[in-house]
């Protein structure tokens, strides 16, 4: 992950896929489990969790907040 002069974050391919998934499903859902995102995208829950941090810290059209840990990390996503 790198930062450009304009201050926007460049995402890896995995991060772009996760962000696209959140944008696509964010209108109908608020809470997402890493495990379920991973199942949809062919990633492990650990890969999703590691990459969600970059999305949460970046300046995007969705806000991501770590929410809970029961049976898989849950993320609260708002547009």
Q: Domain locations in the chain?
A: 11-78
Question: Rounded to an integer, what distance in angstroms lies between the CA atom of residue 4 and that of residue 7?
Answer: 5
Task: Report the DSSP pairing between strands 9-10 and 31-33.
Answer: unpaired
Q: Tokens representing 26?
A: 């964010």
Q: What is the pTM of this model?
A: 0.81
Question: Rounded to an integer, what distance in angstroms lies between the CA atom of residue 38 and that of residue 59?
Answer: 22
pLDDT at res. 2: 43
Q: Tokens representing 35?
A: 């495990």
Task: Convert the pLDDT of each residue in 16-74 to its tens digit.
Answer: 999 999 999 988 889 999 999 999 999 999 999 999 989 999 888 889 999 887 777 89
CATH of 11-78, one of 1.10.1060.10, 3.30.420.40, 1.10.10.10, 3.30.1330.10: 1.10.10.10
Q: Which CA distances in Å does 34 have to 3, 5, 8, 56, 79?
A: 25, 31, 24, 13, 18
């Amino acid at each position: 992950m790198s930062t450009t002069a304009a201050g926007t974050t460049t995402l890896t391919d995995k991060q772009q896929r996760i962000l696209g998934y959140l944008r696509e499903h964010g209108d109908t859902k608020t809470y997402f489990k890493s495990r379920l995102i991973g199942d949809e995208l062919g990633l492990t829950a650990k890969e999703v969790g590691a990459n969600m941090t970059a999305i949460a810290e970046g300046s995007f059209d969705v806000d991501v907040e770590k929410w809970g840990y029961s049976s898989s990390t849950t993320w609260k996503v708002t547009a």
